[in-house]
Each structure stands twice: as structure tokens, then as C-alpha cells.
Structure 1
Amino acid sequence: MSAAVDPAYRHYPKAARYHSRVAAGGAVLKLYHLTAPEAPVPDDVETLAARWFDEQAPATLVAGDCGFVILHRCGTDFYFLLVSMWRGSNELWEAVWYRHGDMPAFAAFDPAYPPQPGVVRPTFCVWELGIVAHESAAWARYLGSPRDDAARSRWVDDIFEGAV
């Protein structure tokens, strides 16, 4: 038995659902919702996420970025907004935002503040990795293409939905 898994932990499937294509800060992003099947993202949280794209994306994203965002509902009132961009041709860069309880907006998340060199930090959970795996393969297909307008359109349309 792994010491990394709490004996009381019980794993269950979540649903990954493509929500929309978002153009923000000069970037093109695929927005996914990740939730327990019976607990979708509430409208008020969706509104706060849309506000993030209007208010924070210009400072976070670079014009021309391509990537994806996972709005992950964790339990009843905690959400991650995981903003992932393809940069350096084949590197996945990420900015993490969160909302807990009745926070009026998403805030930047840093589990190790102040940051220290060599500190191990979380990246993606097992559910999020289902979306990440699909998007990694989609980006690899784009990289292996002529990378013209038709190939970019195919990348935008290459989405994931299903159980993770």
C-alpha cells in the first residue's frame, strides 16, 4: 500500500465536459468543466470564471497563446481555474487560480508562499490529467501538421468529453 494514499480515500469518476472556445487576451483557449456528474458548475461560479477572462486574462496570457482551461469543481465550494498554454513550441505552461466559499472572484493560487527553489508543488490531479492527456495528444497532432489555418481549426475542434 502506498503511503501517498489515505486509507479512507475512495475514488470516484468525474465528468469532463467541453464548455466553449474562449478568445481572451489575444489567446485561443478551450474551456472545460470538470465535476462530479451530479454536481455541475453553478451559474454564479461560471459568471466569475467569465469575469476572470475579461479582467485577468490580458495580464496572464500572451497574444497568440493556444491552450485550454479546466474549471474544476472540487467538493461543494472549492474550484480551481487551471489555465494552461502551449509555449516554447511543445511546453505546457500553467497559471493556477482558485475560488473557495463565497470569495467574490478567483484569486491566484500558490501553495508554497513565498516560493522556494526545489520545493515540490502540485500540478494536475488524476481527473485533470484525463483532459491534459487529450490536449497533449491534440497539440502533438497540430505540431506534426503543416500548422496552417486548417490545422489550427482542427486543433480548436479537437475536444474531449467523458468520464475521467
Structure 2
Amino acid sequence: MNALNALPGDLSAYGNIQGYSHYPKSVTPGLAVPAGGGLLKWYDIAEDATPVTRETCALAQRFLAAETATGRLNLKGELGFVVLHRCGADFHFLLVSSWRNANEMWETVYAKTADAPDFSLFTLPGPHRATFCVWELAAVDHERQAFVRYLFSTRDDAAKRIYLADMYQGEA
């Protein structure tokens, strides 16, 4: 049976998005950072007219260093990536993802509002919750493909360097 044959005849009740106009953002790679015993690629995501500021990036890196120094975030020699996403004028997500158990992506989410002095753990209630937005998925999709290439490699130092250098830059 074709999956399209199982669809309802009327789709007017599904996927309706009111009051939102989508707009472009860019993904900009940064330098890899050591964190909690791991090594993470770095991505900033923002609108071109309002990029992530150097101050916010530095604050996020200091926060990440403090989280790992205290052991609240332990990356145990893992590889992964960070997404620092500027959402509007005064809100930032700091998404820390690492590869565990050979082929799983694990994530810790932090956020910062304009009135907060620093980032803090971001939690959502309930079993069905947000993961990544469409802009963040540009970096996540690239990282999935890059890590699959790494898994198919010899996984030696040269392969790790290739993985760490393989970064996405462009439209999100």
C-alpha cells in the first residue's frame, strides 16, 4: 500500500501555521573548543543583520568551561558540536551535542535571556518537547553526515582531524 493512499482526503486541519513569516539565518563555524574532556566544534546561528556578538560568544564559552570544570557536563573524551543560536534580540540557546554509544547524539540545552547574567540549564516539561528548530537542523544534519563519514573511517588521529575540520557554513 502506498503511504499517500492512507492520507485523509482533506488536509486542511493539519500543519496550519498562523501569524508567522519564515526568514533566513546563517550558520557560521567557529574554532573547536575542549570541554569536559571532550572536543566540540562550534557554530553560531543568527540573522546576518544581527549576528551573535563576540561578547555573547565569549560568555557562552566561559559558561561551558565552568559547566565542564564543575563536572555538571562531562563529555568523557567525546567528539561533538555546540550551536550558539541567537533567537531574536535578547534570547540565545546554547546547544551542546556529543556522540555517545558509538552512534547516538546526546544533547544538553542551555539558554540565556537579556535580563540573565549568564546561561542556565533549559528544561521543558512533558514527554513531547522541542528538540531542534529548522535553522539548527542545518548544522545538525551536516554533523550527522560528518560523523557517519567518521564512523566509516579508520577512526585514527587523521580521521578525527578530518571530522573536526568538516564544518558547515551557509544558509540555515
Q: Tell whether the structures are fold-level matches, with TM greater than 0.5.
A: yes
Residue 67 (structure 1) aligns with: 80
Query: 1:43 is matched by which residue type in structure 2?
Result: R
Q: Distance in 2 between matches of 1:85 and 1:78?
A: 23
Query: 2:156 is matched by which residue type in structure 1?
Result: D
- Equivalent of residue 14 in structure 1, options 18, 25, 49: 25
Query: 1:30 is matched by which residue type in structure 2?
Result: K
Residue 151 (structure 1) aligns with: 159
TM-align CA RMSD: 1.4
Deviation at 1:150, TM superposition (A): 0.7
Given the superposition, is the C-alpha separation of residues 36 and 146 from structure 1 closer, same or farther in structure 2, using an over 3 Å criterion? Answer: same
Q: Secondary structure at the match of 1:138?
A: helix
Deviation string 1:27-63 (CA, Å, 9 cap, x unpaired) is: 1000100000111112321221021122012421322
Further displaced range: 92-101 or 3-12: 3-12
Residue 163 (structure 1) aligns with: 171
Q: Distance in 1 between matches of 2:16 and 2:150?
A: 36
Further displaced range: 39-48 or 123-132: 39-48
Q: Distance in 1 between matches of 2:16 and 2:123?
A: 23
Structure 1 gaps, min length 5: none
Query: 2:52 is matched by which residue type in structure 1?
Result: V
Further displaced range: 43-52 or 86-95: 43-52
Residue 106 (structure 1) aligns with: 119
- Equivalent of residue 41 in structure 1, options 42, 47, 52: 52
- Equivalent of residue 65 in structure 2, options 31, 45, 54: 54
Q: Secondary structure at the match of 2:29?
A: strand
1:74-93 to structure 2, matched below 5 A, reads: 74-93=87-106
Given the superposition, is the C-alpha separation of residues 94 and 5 from structure 1 closer, same or farther in structure 2, using an over 3 Å criterion? Answer: farther
Identity rate, percent: 42
Q: Distance in 1 between matches of 2:137 and 2:13?
A: 20
Given the superposition, is the C-alpha separation of residues 65 and 2 from structure 1 closer, same or farther in structure 2, using an over 3 Å criterion? Answer: farther
Residue 136 (structure 1) aligns with: 144
Larger Rg: 2
Provide the TM-score with structure 2 as the length reference.
Answer: 0.88
Further displaced range: 84-93 or 5-14: 5-14
Q: Does the alignment pair 1:30 with 2:41?
A: yes
